[in-house]
Copies of this chain bind each other. A is one copy, B any other.
Amino acid sequence: MVNVVRTNIRRAERAVVDRLQAFGVATVHEAQGRTGLLGPDIRPIWRGARVAGTAVTVSLPPCDNWMIHVAVEQCQEGDLLVVAPTSFSDAGYFGELLATSLMARKVRALVIDAGVRDVRDLTALGFPVWSRAVSAQGTVKETLGSVNVPVVCAGALVNPGDVVVADDDGVCIVPRREAGRVADASAAREAKEAVSRERLRAGELGLDMYKMREKLARAGLVYDDSPPGE
């Protein structure tokens, strides 16, 4: 079991990352076939942020944040730090000092399958964080982990350089090599939804717009217009 920091990773292209950022999580997740979503316990510590970035991944032991300090050095502008403990913990691995350091490197956000603290300061700084918990309980710096290895974060596989998209709906991972294709599919989906939205706003029913009535009848749905009893 060697603990390693991979210093040389391929990242998804910035232009594609930025396109994905604009679409948001729900659209991107649908556009790539409903894969890559982190579990719904990972929530933003403040509302309204929508970001995408290239993943720098951290695998670390529970209750030990030493490797986050190591990972900072591997971060570049446009990256997004993804932290996954090897065992469940809701302690606070990350606070305002680490955020200051990441912001100095133009890192876009943090996604962590654990807890964070200093959320008042993080909010004031405008640094976006998605986490499982908020806790003032600190961690130690005793045991190694690895940086830029594949990690499982809240049920999703993340490879370094993958695109991480995050907003109020949660967090979704787009594999690096799929990013362009998924951005195209997202754009197509959004265009289609824009049309649907206008028709629905005008009062058209989804039943008609999506042509569901016949399929419902075939499935045996019964409409009962008998008068209600008292």
Contacts and interface: CB of A to CB of B under 8 A. Distances in A.
A207 B137 contact: no
A7 B223 contact: yes
Contacts of A70: 207, 212, 216, 221
Given A62-B62, A200-B100, A3 B207 contact: no
A228 B147 CA distance: 14
A3 to B, nearest CB: 5
A3 B221 contact: yes
* Tier of interface size on chain A: 35 or more
Contacts of A129: none
Contacts of A76: none
A38 B226 CA distance: 30
A30 interface: yes
Contact of A134 (B35, B115, B170, B221): B170
Ranked 9 nearest A-B pairs via Cβ: A1-B33, A142-B142, A40-B135, A101-B200, A63-B63, A87-B137, A136-B169, A69-B206, A26-B136
Interface of A: 1-10, 24-26, 29-30, 32-35, 37, 39-40, 43, 47-48, 50, 61-64, 66, 69-70, 72-73, 86-92, 95-98, 100-101, 103-105, 115, 117-120, 123, 133-138, 140-144, 150, 152, 155-157, 161, 167-170, 172, 193, 196-197, 200-203, 205-207, 210, 212, 216, 219-228
